[in-house]
Amino acid sequence: MTTARDGHRTLPALAARPSAQDADGGAVRKEFAFSREDFERIRRLIHDHAGIQLNPGKMEMVYSRLARRLRANNLSRFSDYLRLLEGPRGAEWEAFTNALTTNLTAFFREAHHFVELEQLIRRVSATREVSLWCSASSTGEEAYSMAMSAVEACGTMSPRVKIVASDVDTAVLAKAQAGIYTMDRVERLSPDRLRRFFLRGSGANEGMVRVRPELAALIRFQQVNLLDARYPVNGPFDAIFCRNVMIYFDKATQYSILQRFAPLLRPDGRLFAGHSENFHHAVDLFRLRGKTVYELANAPAGAA
């Protein structure tokens, strides 16, 4: 939940934009009527639908993000748009959620996690297939970093590893599945990784790279809303990545998500969190194993 979503999906983390002003310093009249009441209804809807807690200071950001949806639906007032949302659930809910999620990510962000992931993959793949879940995959950088780690850990482009990569935002999932990035997105990767895992574009695609099909074959992308009562993924997983997403949920929502993660993780599995996250309020479910790495609270003593 692209769900802060590190490789992930990070939700609204932008500062509110100042109101536009005219030459005399007065506020410019907005294109669409937008009241504080409208904003509070939007805050309630996105929290109920996706668990996202919008800061009260995000009113200008919300106006900017959703104004395009009013244009697309030929509406002139936010109150009309809200009536559309509060009616029968339809395709506009997907567009509404996509508009209000912010997706910040990078390849191999928080690199220490991938060192531990490689160790886990080496240990497990010696005896069976490794199963991983990237639960807030955003535009795919995190999931592809997991796949690259698997290849490097096993020394083959076809390791015994399968990765499920999910996000609530269908727009970023489409970008992730395409696996096409501008050169600035991969500039921090080593030349060896670029050669091994990407194809360079030419002609009209100059300045672009595409993930090699062998790497993409390790990943299955699908939509998952972390607020759903049941997740359409099949565990148990050896590791779940859910980084820089939980900070956008309140503690009660975090706890309910962790409750659903726990039975999907193997007894000796790992849960990777973001650098700004901690689960001190869920010690009955998970205990800290390392730097923002958790294991099940009832994990067997001495688990690898």
Catalytic member of 6, 167, 169, 238: 167
Which residue, among 89, 20, 24, has the nearest Cα to 60 in the 3D structure? Answer: 20
**Alpha-carbon torsion, ordered 176, 178, 179, 181, to 10 deg:** -100
301 membership: H or E segment, kind and range: none
Type of residue found at 262:
A
The answer to whether residue 48 is catalytic is no
CA proximity to 10, closest of 277, 258, 294: 277
Active site residue 6: no
- Active-site residue (options: 9, 43, 65, 270): 65
Task: Please provide residue 167's backbone torsions phi and psi, each rounded to the nearest 5 degrees.
Answer: -165, 160
Measured distance between the N- and C-terminal CA atoms of the chain, rounded to whole angstroms: 29
**Rounded-to-integer distance, Cα 104 and Cα 6, Å:** 6
Nearest to 102 by CA among 248, 274, 272: 248
CB 10 within 8 A of CB 277: no
Report the length, in residues, of the chain.
304
**Any idea which residues carry the catalytic annotation?**
65, 167
